[in-house]
Amino acid sequence: MSRARADEEEYWHSSKFRAFTFDDEDDELSQLKESKRAVNSLRDIVDDDDDDLERVSWSGEPVGSISWSIKETASSSTSSLEGRDSSLQKGSSSYAAFPKQVSSYSLSSLFKGEVPHTQCGQMTLSDTGVKNYAPELRRPKAEYKDYSSDWSPKDTVRRMQRGKICSLERFRSLQDKLVLLDEAVAGHDGNVITAVLIFLKRTLRREILFRELEVRQVALCHLIHFLKETGEQKLLLDLLRLCFFSLSLQLSQYCEHLNIQDVEKRREFLKGCIGLPFSGEDTSHIQDHYTLLERQIIIEANDRHLETAGQSEIFRKYPRKASILNMPLVTTLFYSCFYHYTEAEGTFSSPTNLKKTFKIPDKQYVLTALAARAKLRAWDDVDALFTTKNWLGYTKKKAPIGFHRVVEILQRNNAPVQVLQEYVRLVEDVETRLNLATKYKCHDVVIETYKDLKDRIQLTAYKCKVERGSAEEEKINSILNNMVRN
């Protein structure tokens, strides 16, 4: 037993490895001696140049070998990026996918084991280089244009309509911002208009913004709706107050034309009113007002010359009682239908030209033309006004205003009974037809209607209302006798 224990002690003491002892001082000294012997033993297999000494890592591989280079580079890259990755992940998730850094060592320095001091644990973000990562983050060239400052306002609006990211900060001057707003309105995209208005509200003074929106009614309505949705009551009240004041100012300025007596000056004033910031419908009315006055000036000058020269029969027979200047559109149409009814559409005084220019409805045109031609007792023109022809060539009478109104207008203009009866017969409603025929003494129409109804009693009663011995009485007697025989 003692022999085995003695052999074991001899084995441990004879080995190059030593057992654990609590004597730290002896242990450190022995490790230092052993390391010194190991380093001295390596000098025999390397060159005399101290800079080219081959070093051995703790894993036993020579420092500078290819396998060591790969492992050491990977480990250094990993350790240098771990701290950076953790900090970048806290700030922005877009940097979490950065690839690991590729070593920038040269092959000679790797094989020699030379590592620059700036790359050993003291590498900053600029040292590791965003440039090394830039190729991985590079976007296609087409997408770089999203962040370009070269887009025109029109191109910017188009890209916004497609959902692209476009910076509006490059539009710094007032003119560029207004062009951008006009392009957004022209694009008819409410989201783009609202986005541009938010940008203008943030970058323009309130007075300038309100002043420019006065002449841009579409953008103004969008801003009012946006302020209502966001609950910005103070700004909304200021905007509405300004709009109301502006509208009152515009109306008062437009009404100034009533105080201008000179026709040419009034025409020029109305031309200037077209540019006032009215709504689209009101602007259209002012435009029509200006066009009508311009047309009246031309017609008045021409008709005055014809009337003075006595070259037109209608002016000799029906002299003008007043000037056409500053008259309403309906009065101008009546004047045109009275004096210029047969003129070609290409002339300014033609009724059909007026109807087309000012988009006069068919009912209004027929009423006015009927009144004008009935006043002249031009019954052929009245008949042609209601006569239509279908695609088979058959003609029939059709009135967009109803034949009962035609009868009333003809009666006011003292139309003959024969003319009245022709249009009373065209009234579809029997009761209305009988009332009109009785009221305007269209006896033939009343007798024919009762005959169609086979109403013997009414025919007998109506016989008392006609003159004795007249043609109407004989007609009634003939109908009654035929009813008795049948």
If you write DSSP's letter for every residue of 107-125 in order, what string do you get? HHHHHHT---GGGSS---H
Distance CA(164)–CA(144), nearest Å, equals 11
Is the entire prediction scored with pTM above 0.85?
Answer: no
Give the integer Cα–Cα distance in Å for 421 and 138.
90
First to last CA, the chain: 163
Residue 473 near residue 463 (C-beta atoms within 8 A) = yes
pLDDT tens track for 20-29: 555 544 455 5
Q: 399 and 412 in contact (C-beta within 8 Å)?
A: no
Is 98:133 a contact under the CB 8 Å cutoff?
Answer: yes
Report CA-CA distances (Å) from 172 to 55, 63, 89, 349: 64, 61, 36, 52
Instruction: Show the tokens assigned to 71.
Output: 């492992």
Query: Are 228 and 236 within 8 A, CB to CB?
Result: yes
Give the 3-state secondary structure of residue 7: helix
Confidence of residue 404 (pLDDT cuts 50, 70, 90): very high
Three-state DSSP at 442 gives: coil
Residue-wise pLDDT for 189-233, tens only, equals 888 998 999 998 889 888 888 888 877 878 888 888 888 888 887
User: What would the mean pLDDT of 308-327 be, rounded to a whole number?
Assistant: 89
DSSP element (H, E) containing 335: helix 329-339
Q: Which residues pair with 387 in a beta bridge?
A: 397
Count CB atoms within 10 A of the CB of residue 284: 13
Match 């006004």 to its residue by tokens.
385
Amino acid at the residue 454: K
Confidence of residue 239 (pLDDT cuts 50, 70, 90): confident
Interior angle at CA 155, CA 151 and CA 161, nearest 5 = 125
Given pLDDT bands bounded at 50, 70 and 90, which one contains residue 128?
Answer: very low
Residue spans of the domains in the chain: they are 148-255, 363-441, 444-485
CA 401, 405, 410 angle in degrees (round to 5)?
120
Residue 27 pLDDT: 53
Do the Cβ atoms of 283 and 272 come closer than 8 Å? no
Task: Read off the pLDDT of each residue in 57-69 and give the average, rounded to a whole number.
Answer: 51
Of residues 260 and 390, more confidently modeled = 260
Predicted confidence at residue 109, as pLDDT, reads 46
Residue, of 282 and 134, whose pLDDT is higher: 282
